[in-house]
Amino acid sequence: MANDNNISFTNKNGKVRFYDGTATPYYIEIDFGAGDISGPLGVPKTEEILKLNVGNSDADGHYIEGPDDKIFEPGQVSLSFMITSKAQSDFLLDWLDAMNYIGSTATVNSHTLVTTKGTTNRDGTNASPAFADSTKYACNVELFLDGPGTDQGWQWNEVWLPLAEQSIALADDGASVTLTGYHHGTVERIVSFTAGTDVET
């Protein structure tokens, strides 16, 4: 048996999925053999504001809690990967269009997607507010690392992928896509991918 204390996770062992908000969610899976991903491990906290006694440090010095808007500031999730399948890249482009409501419906492969915006409680009580712009759709992003004996995964909820901030690059070894999203929901540890329906089927 492999020594669980000496595991080195690499992108060779990773997969990323994007999920919509349907009851049994639709998802698209990206193989991560040649790619990178980064994202925060938690959500922001309120600011601690120092109050002193007329500017003097004494027993009356204390902190007060700043406004809650800090909690709901979006965090950035970034990933890049090589395009290895035209069919998959077509579905991914359709998914990005759907997140920005390009066209008459948010549809991928004849499946109508549902936004995940407002489905989690960042402060533990209140749902994340809906976007003022109804053409902005959010999805959940899940990263799962398959290790010898130990698996690890994370879920970034309510991620908006603005089309203007996504890019494609061509090089001698192929074409790569770089995606940037902003998560407005919670960050969760996961032990397996969420069950759902592959949007490619």
Q: With respect to residue 191, please indicate whether it lies within any of the assigned structural domains.
A: yes
Q: With respect to residue 144, please indicate whether it lies within any of the assigned structural domains.
A: yes
Q: With respect to residue 63, please indicate whether it lies within any of the assigned structural domains.
A: no
Range(s) of the domain holding residue 31:
10-44+72-198
The answer, yes or no, to whether residue 55 has pLDDT greater than 70, is yes
Q: With respect to residue 138, please indicate whether it lies within any of the assigned structural domains.
A: yes
Q: With respect to residue 131, please indicate whether it lies within any of the assigned structural domains.
A: yes
Q: With respect to residue 58, please indicate whether it lies within any of the assigned structural domains.
A: no
Q: With respect to residue 141, please indicate whether it lies within any of the assigned structural domains.
A: yes
What is the number of domains present in the chain?
1
Average pLDDT over residues 188-196: 95
- Most confidently modeled of 6-15, 84-93, 190-199? 190-199
Model pLDDT, residue 86: 80
Which residues, including other chains, have CB under 8 Å from residue 20's CB and lie 6 or more apart?
26, 27, 113, 114, 115, 116, 137, 139
Confidence of residue 13 (pLDDT cuts 50, 70, 90): low
Q: With respect to residue 28, please indicate whether it lies within any of the assigned structural domains.
A: yes
Instruction: Kindly report the CATH number assigned to the domain that includes residue 36.
Output: 2.30.110
Tens digit of each residue's pLDDT (9 = 90 or more) over 109-132: 999 999 999 999 999 999 999 999
Its pTM stands at 0.87
